[in-house]
């Protein structure tokens, strides 16, 4: 039990009770239904954060996000065009409190540009906050690789191999200068690296870029990282990048992505 929230609820209820008693002493008539409504409103305000966390930690809300998709999106990776009110609410992402002074605020400042004019590229995960692999309510950062090379074959498996190699450098001190640089990047999890070109000695022949993103749970099909690959939005005039919201993923791609988590 969260005693801090219970204490806040108790104080708010006492304050409401005192206010109602004061109104009666002043001669104001407070009907019983209004008393009940006041108590209910206080409870709702105090408990709203806990209710929200419980809702977004489940699976149902993410199924709702995927409902009523445009049939034209079944076989393509589109960008949202002139979204309606509900669509804009889905696309909206609020930064966590700790992020207000973090370099990742860049992502929130450039969000409209990415959604309106960005390019969709394949990306793979290098590392992420472990909480993102479990159900939860909070968003967290991650380090990813992406490529703009549309002619390369077997892009995703090759990118995953590079990502695995980079992650294996974590907490090591290689003699090679390129490896040492990326070892420092993946070892310092509080670091924020944006649009770092991966050198040929590590890229496996691909044109790869490493960058830091914020993973928004509401934009994932199941509210957590199930598979280590996803479509990413980038923009040539911005260092920011973000995962393409799942409502715009092709049906087959989404089914395959979700299938990886069914065995868990």
Q: What is the pLDDT of residue 1?
A: 43
Number of domains in the chain: 2
pLDDT along the chain (264 residues), means of 10: 52 64 66 58 57 53 59 62 77 88 91 90 95 89 94 90 95 92 90 92 92 94 91 94 91 86 58
Cβ count within 10 A of residue 138: 14
> Is there a single domain that holds both residue 176 and residue 242?
yes
79 plus 192 within the same structural domain: yes
Task: Specify whether 52 is located in the same domain as 123.
Answer: no
Q: Are residues 143 and 217 in the same domain?
A: yes
Q: Assign 93 to helix, strand or coil.
A: coil
pLDDT of residue 20: 64
Do 208 and 95 fall into the same domain? yes
- Using the CB atoms, write b or e for 65-74: b if 16+ within 10 Å: beeeeeeeee
Positive or negative CA dihedral for 117, 121, 125, 126? negative
Contacts 24+ apart (CB under 8 A), 11-17: 12/42, 12/45, 12/46, 13/39, 13/42, 13/43, 16/42
- 23 and 139 part of one domain: no
Q: Are residues 51 and 64 in the same domain?
A: no
Looking at the fold, whether 15 and 136 belong to one and the same domain comes out as: no
Residues 48 and 70 in one domain: no
111 and 78 in a single domain? The answer is yes
Would you state the pLDDT for residue 91? Answer: 86
Report the DSSP beta bridge partners of residue 233.
120, 242
Last residue of a domain, one of 16, 34, 56: 56
Domain that holds residue 24: 3-56
Choosing from 25, 41, 56, the residue where a domain stops is 56
Same domain, 226 and 161: yes
- Of 3, 64, 86, 16, nearest in space to 44 by CA: 16
Residue 68 is given by DSSP the state: T
Q: Does one domain contain both 72 and 19?
A: no
């Amino acid at each position: 039990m969260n005693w801090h929230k219970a204490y806040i609820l108790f104080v708010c209820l006492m304050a409401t009770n005192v206010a109602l008693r004061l109104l009666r002493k002043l001669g104001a008539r407070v009907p019983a239904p209004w008393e009940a409504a006041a108590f209910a409103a206080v409870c709702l305000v105090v408990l709203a954060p806990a209710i929200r966390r419980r809702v977004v930690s489940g699976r149902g809300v993410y199924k709702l996000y995927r409902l009523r998709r445009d049939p034209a999106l079944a076989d393509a990776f589109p960008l949202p065009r002139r979204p309606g009110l509900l669509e804009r609410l889905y696309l909206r992402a609020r930064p966590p409190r700790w992020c207000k002074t973090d370099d990742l605020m860049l992502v929130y400042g450039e969000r409209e540009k990415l959604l309106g004019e960005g390019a969709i590229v394949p990306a793979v995960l290098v590392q992420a906050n472990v909480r993102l692999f479990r159900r939860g309510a909070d968003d967290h950062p991650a380090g990813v690789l992406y490529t703009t090379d549309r002619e390369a074959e077997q892009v995703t498996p090759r990118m995953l191999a590079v990502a695995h190699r980079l992650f294996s450098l974590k907490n090591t001190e290689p003699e090679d200068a390129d490896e040492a640089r990326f070892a420092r990047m993946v070892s310092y999890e509080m670091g924020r690296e944006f649009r770092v070109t991966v050198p040929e000695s590590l890229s496996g022949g691909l044109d790869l870029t490493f960058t830091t993103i914020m993973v928004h749970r509401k934009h994932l099909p199941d509210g957590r990282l199930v598979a280590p690959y996803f479509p990413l939005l980038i923009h040539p005039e911005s260092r920011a990048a973000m995962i393409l919201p799942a409502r715009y993923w092709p049906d087959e791609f989404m089914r395959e992505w979700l299938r990886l988590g069914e065995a868990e």
